[in-house]
Amino acid sequence: MVHMSVVPPDDRGGATVPGNRYQPVRVGTDLGTLLRAAGRGDEAAFSALYDASSARIFGLVLRVVRDRAQSEEVTQEVFLDIWRKSARFDPALGSPLSWMMTIAHRKSVDRVRSAEASSRRETVYEAKSQERSYDVTAEAAERNINRERVRRAMGSLTDTQRGAVELAYFGGYTHTEVATMLDLPLGTAKTRIRDGLIRLRDTLGLQS
């Protein structure tokens, strides 16, 4: 019962994505354009989309899921999902990256909330989540600037707001769990999360 064979190839024909018949999209194009092109089956555009977003996505998944092997698995699922749903991205509902990160975060949270995964995750130490990519690419400097900017914005939150946002977003905990962990009166953690995110949004100058 361990052997696994391939689904007969003659049944695969209809499911194969045809090659890109549209104008190729170059690297450097904005994510929305790449996403739209991916929705038309443009693999080159998707490749550029991957390059532009994979460190953000994998980093978040790794932070939430913690276990490296599981994080790679989840990230793979996330990108497959993005590819599949790319034509359904609606710019009226947010930025492309925000849409992609929402998929990534949700899948990560789903993974850690299943009992099996969470028990396994206890055994994997925090050290994994400390990893950072100290690469020396051209974008590294810009990344550092962005990281600093966000770190400063987080610094403008109260300790409780920051703790609540971090436990919810990076920890994958529900607001009631966050309340218990931070010793907050029941029902107030959700307010701290909301206040914290509003402060973050406003400090970063994002439109509401």
Partner 1 sequence: MNVDTHGLSGAYAVDALTDEERAAFEAHMSTCAECPEETQGLRAAATELTYLTEVAPPAALKSAVMRDIKAVRPLPPVQDMPPAQDEPEAQPRPVTSIADAGRHRRRNPVSWLLAAAAAAILAIGGLTAWHPWDRGTSQTQVSATQQVLHAKDAQRVAKTLPQGATATVVRSKSLGKAVIITDNLPPAPAGKAYELWFQTPRGTMDPAGLMPRDSQPSQPVLLKGDAASAIAVGITIEPATGSDSPTTPPIAVLKLA
Tell me which residues in 3-22 interact with partner 1 (CB under 8 A).
Answer: 3-8, 10-12, 14-17
Contact call for residue 183 and partner 1 (CB under 8 A)? no
Our finding on whether 147 is near partner 1 (CB under 8 A) is yes
Q: Does 138 bind partner 1 (CB under 8 A)?
A: no
In the list 23, 28, 93, 155, the residue contacting partner 1 (rule: CB under 8 A) is 93
Residue numbers 96-125 binding partner 1 by CB under 8 A: 97-99, 101-103, 105-106, 109-111, 114-117
Does position 150 interact with partner 1 (CB under 8 A)? The reply is: yes
80 near partner 1 (CB under 8 A)? yes
Torsion, CA 149, CA 150, CA 152, CA 155, rounded to 10: 170
Least Å distance between CB 6 and partner 1? 4
> SS3 sequence, 12-79?
CHHHCCCCCCCCCCCCCCCHHHHHHHHHCCCHHHHHHHHHHHHHHHHHHHHHHHCCHHHHHHHHHHHH
d(CA 31, CA 26): 11
Select 3 or 183, whichever has its Cβ closest to partner 1: 3
Please select the residue that binds partner 1; options are 34, 38, 45, 65, rule is CB under 8 A: 38
